[in-house]
Amino acid sequence: MLSKVVLALASLCSEMQSMSREAEARFFHPLSLYGAGVRAEEEGGKQMALSRVLPILRSLSDFQVHSAALIGNAMRQVRLNE
């Protein structure tokens, strides 16, 4: 039983590392630059910047849901071992 729990936790940790790399590659750069170079005086400048970032925010939302499920699964595995 213990070896199955350890194997499951190792797999979850590997997936967490993979997701960490994915988050850095997919989300860090676009979100850190959000709004850079947008001029308020340009007509629709802010709206255009928001429309360009919406697909990224949608992906980020899906990523967050997956992350929460992954962490919940890891916590359940730890509780099983108690």
> Tens digit of pLDDT for each residue in 4-53?
878 888 999 999 999 999 999 999 988 888 767 666 666 777 788 788 88
Nearest CA-CA partner of 74 in 3, 14, 34, 1: 14
**What distance in Å separates the CA atoms of residue 74 and residue 82, rounded to the nearest whole number?**
13
Nearest CA-CA partner of 47 in 64, 62, 65, 35: 35
Q: What is the pLDDT of residue 41?
A: 62
Q: What is the pLDDT of residue 1?
A: 66
Q: Enumerate the domain spans of the chain.
A: 2-81
Residue given tokens 């697909």 in the structure block: 55
Q: Residue 9: which residues within 8 A CB-CB, separation 6 or more?
A: 74, 77, 78
How large is the average pLDDT for residues 51-74? Answer: 94
How large is the average pLDDT for residues 53-81? Answer: 91
Global confidence as pTM: 0.77
In this structure, how many other beta carbons lie within 10 angstroms of the beta carbon of residue 73? Answer: 15
